[in-house]
Structure 1
Amino acid sequence: MARYMVTFFKDILGDNGHHAEVCQHLLEVEAANSGDATELAKRKFCEIERLSDWSLHADRLRVSESERPLEQQAPH
């Protein structure tokens, strides 16, 4: 399993008339691949925000592999 950072973004129009991209949420998930990471993050985002669909609070998301290594578990 690899670690992925999944960032949810919302586009807004500021008071100055310029478009801005706002980070709605950042999740770190463990998954076999980026597709699985995307789906897991969408589910978690919906749970956290109490939504039926992630796109109600975000316009898009970005998935990137985390540079932080997986933590090793000590043998029992």
Structure 2
Amino acid sequence: MVNRIMDAMKIHNQVSGDEGLQELEKIAVSIEEKVYIAATSQSAYLREISLKMLAVENRSQNPMACIDP
């Protein structure tokens, strides 16, 4: 699942070099761990992972949406 999260993040975020990929992996691992710990079932886990990946996609398509007025 971490690899899927990383793939989604690579598509929607510009990263360069080994340092960028390592940072992306740390973020993906952190996201996956938090979702796993909070999940009450496998379906809840998969649903939350899907929502996180959609959020990454939406954030990259509309970067101003993340800024609070």
Q: TM-score w.r.t. structure 1 length?
A: 0.28
Q: Larger C-alpha radius of gyration, 1 or 2?
A: 1
The structure in which a higher percent of residues are strand is: 1
Q: TM-score w.r.t. structure 2 length?
A: 0.29
The structure in which a higher percent of residues are helix is: 2
